[in-house]
């Protein structure tokens, strides 16, 4: 566990998502009250709580837990965090809030998406009482001291995906809306997962965010980036490359293409260590998601 101070009112805790530093952050936004943005998985919660202790934040000072979307690396730890932070409400898009109160359908879906090799790194989900879950899609959360977080709908990666604008500084907590940039591992690519990825919505989201002329984006994977337009442009280029790769596979009549081979072509990543496992899991999940999207698009004749 390591903590960082990025702005006068924004800190972060590296909670060792998937067992590694440099992969996932929980952001800590301080006004007169405290909000956390992103939870990691259930396996990261003890590190997040230790990070709050290191930052000198009492458990009862945290009143808000904001999740950008339902995927387990962003919201899987919400139930355990809520249990440890008794005054905190959990905010997520209302279209998926039922999965936080009853995760029985979500976990098998995640297991299929991430694959058996990476699944043990995702832990489980503790159900949250429905009265502690709040809709986030129109959120304007005033933390006091001039700190306000406002939700922006940013679908594509998933239909429920939200980002949160820090109106004091102008930066955006972006989740997976445009992709990941993990400099420590030299990984930067958009994630396009099954089952509900939408390329048109994803491209529209990136275009809308580029038009905001944001001074900074805070990525869950990983950290603040001030070269905002460059990161958005790179995400668009990677999407184009993945679409081209998938189109070739489908045009060649490959009913069951080799996902590992396609992912390795799109995102070559050497080695067999833990970081390579993350790269394999997320890149293969992305190829699978894009294949599913493109096949359905062609079936519709779009």
Alpha helices, DSSP H only, in 61-188? Answer: 72-75, 78-84, 98-101, 106-114
Asked whether the predicted pLDDT for residue 48 surpasses 90, the reply is yes
Confidence of residue 291 (pLDDT cuts 50, 70, 90): very high
Instruction: Supply the pLDDT for residue 119.
Output: 84
For residue 194, pLDDT beyond 80: yes
Measure the CA dihedral 147/9/128/190, to 10°.
Answer: 100
Query: Nearest 5°: CA angle at 184, between 40 and 9?
Result: 55
The pLDDT of residue 164 is above 80: yes
pLDDT at 302 over 60: no
Domains of the chain listed by start with CATH number: 2-233 (3.60.15.10)
Q: What is the pLDDT of residue 18?
A: 92
CB 19 within 8 A of CB 29: no
Helix ranges (H only) for 55-198 are: 72-75, 78-84, 98-101, 106-114
Q: Please give the model's pTM, rounded to 2 decimal places.
A: 0.94
List of residues 6+ apart from 284 with CB closer than 8 A = 115, 259, 260, 263
């Amino acid at each position: 566990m390591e903590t960082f101070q990025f702005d006068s009112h924004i800190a972060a805790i590296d909670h060792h998502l998937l067992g590694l530093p440099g992969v996932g952050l929980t952001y800590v936004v301080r006004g007169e009250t405290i909000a956390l943005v992103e939870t990691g998985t259930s396996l990261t919660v003890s590190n997040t709580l230790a990070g709050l202790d290191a930052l000198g934040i009492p458990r009862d000072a945290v009143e808000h837990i904001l999740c950008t979307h339902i995927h387990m690396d962003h919201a899987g730890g919400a139930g355990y965090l809520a249990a440890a932070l008794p005054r905190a409400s959990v905010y997520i898009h209302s279209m998926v809030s039922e999965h936080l109160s009853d995760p029985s359908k979500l976990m098998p879906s995640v297991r299929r998406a991430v694959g058996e090799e990476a699944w043990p790194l995702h832990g489980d989900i503790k159900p949250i009482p429905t009265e502690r879950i709040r809709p986030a899609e129109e959120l304007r959360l005033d933390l006091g001291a001039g700190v306000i977080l406002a939700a922006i709908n940013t679908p594509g990666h998933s239909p429920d995906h939200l980002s949160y604008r820090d109106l004091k500084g102008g930066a955006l907590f972006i989740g997976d809306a445009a992709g990941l940039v993990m400099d420590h591992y030299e990984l930067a690519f958009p994630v396009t997962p099954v089952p509900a990825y939408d390329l048109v919505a994803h491209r529209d989201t990136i275009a809308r965010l580029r038009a905001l002329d944001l001074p900074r984006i805070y990525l869950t994977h990983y950290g603040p980036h001030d070269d905002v337009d460059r990161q958005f442009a790179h995400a668009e280029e990677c999407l184009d490359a993945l679409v081209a790769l998938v189109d070739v596979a489908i045009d060649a009549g490959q009913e069951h293409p080799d996902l590992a081979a396609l992912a390795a072509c799109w995102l070559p990543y050497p080695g067999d260590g833990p970081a390579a496992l993350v790269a394999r899991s997320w890149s293969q999940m992305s190829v699978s998601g894009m294949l599913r999207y493109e096949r359905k698009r062609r079936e519709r004749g779009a």
